């Protein structure tokens, strides 16, 4: 059965300060954000009616806009409340929330200082990013052709729409070959991340993860690092060379959409999800859920 297109659904979307019918949340074809990628966004999940780390996501959204040279015309408090209300009006307890801010249509060209900055927030039901059965046994990753760019050539600290173009290309190429996703290297040739998630490896009981100096230090990534340290697992953040991929025993990726997802293969390299991956998968799912559960019990 085909999925319902995202422009033809029931519900409402918060759009520039008010709720509009889902199908009426439209922008003009000459919107600067469409032509020049002057847009930033967030991906958030709600568990038990509570949006996990909403403050951190909203703060990053505002900072992403600032990095792209524009100010979102709403405070963090307004954005947080609008996000919660959107979730509520969509009758979602567990769901995905997507705020996006972009430059409008007043000027069409590279220069667009006078364009209105718009903000919209949508929410919908979204299960695990990967097939549940495939996720538990570990997904397969291809190795992407494109690389994460030098921070001097792209605003890598911003969750900017344009930075995901090479991710879409890479994920499509991987899926065409039967993989679930792709691992990207960076401009120096170091291991970087998957197309929409950070990556972790296990070696000799320690957790190794690439230093996020040219890609996002994901909010889920920061959560996993904290959970690992709380569990007494040593975390080593460093540059990882591709030739090291064969030396690790476990691998997983993490992100708001991916949550914690074990990896069984990266190109010719094989891994077996084991104790550390399972510990952190379970710890993450417990971390995102208990606050809502405790509130419901009160």
Please identify every residue annotated as catalytic.
Answer: 159
Alpha-carbon distance of 266 to 208, in angstroms, equals 16
Count of residues making up the chain: 298
Going from the C-alpha of 126 to that of each of 88, 106, 256, the distances in angstroms are: 15, 34, 11
**DSSP one-letter string for the chain:** -PPPPTTS-SSEEEETTEEEEGGG----TT-HHHHH--EEE--EEEETTEETTHHHHHHHHHHHHHHTT---SS-HHHHHHHHHHHHHHTT-SSEEEEEEEEE-SS--SS--TTPPEEEEEEEE----SS-HHHHHH-EEEEE-SS-BPPTTTS-TTS-BGGGGHHHHHHHHHHHHTT-SEEEEEBTTS-EEEESSSEEEEEETTEEEEE--SSS---HHHHHHHHHHHHTT--EEEE---GGGGGG-SEEEEEETTTEEEEEEEETTEE----HHHHHHHHHHHHHHSHHHHHHHH-
């Amino acid at each position: 059965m085909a999925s319902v297109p995202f422009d033809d659904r029931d519900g409402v979307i918060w759009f520039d300060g008010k709720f509009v019918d889902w199908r009426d949340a439209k922008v003009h074809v000459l919107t600067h954000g469409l032509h020049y990628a002057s847009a930033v966004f967030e991906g958030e999940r709600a568990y038990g009616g509570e949006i996990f780390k909403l403050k951190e996501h909203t703060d990053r959204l505002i900072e992403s806009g600032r990095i792209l040279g524009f100010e979102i015309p709403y405070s963090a408090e307004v954005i947080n409340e609008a996000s919660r209300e959107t979730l509520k009006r969509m009758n979602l307890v567990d769901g995905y929330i997507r705020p996006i801010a972009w430059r409008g249509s007043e000027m069409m060209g590279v220069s667009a200082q006078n364009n209105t900055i718009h903000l919209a927030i949508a929410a919908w039901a979204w299960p695990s990013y990967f097939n549940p059965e495939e996720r538990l046994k570990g997904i397969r990753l291809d190795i992407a052709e494109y690389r994460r760019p030098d921070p001097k050539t792209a605003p890598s600290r911003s969750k900017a729409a344009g930075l995901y173009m090479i991710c879409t290309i890479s994920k499509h190429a991987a899926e065409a070959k039967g993989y679930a996703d792709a691992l990207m290297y960076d401009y120096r040739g170091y291991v970087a991340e998957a197309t929409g998630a950070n990556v972790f490896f296990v070696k000799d009981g320690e957790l190794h993860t690439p230093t996020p100096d040219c890609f996002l230090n994901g909010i889920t990534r920061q959560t996993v690092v904290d959970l690992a340290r709380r569990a007494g697992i040593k975390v080593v953040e460093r540059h990882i060379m591709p030739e090291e991929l064969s030396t690790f025993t476990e691998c997983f990726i993490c992100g708001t959409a991916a949550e914690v997802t074990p990896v069984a293969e990266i190109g010719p390299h094989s891994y077996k999800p084991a104790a550390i991956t399972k510990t952190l998968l379970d710890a993450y799912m417990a971390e995102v859920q208990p606050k809502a559960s405790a509130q419901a019990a009160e």
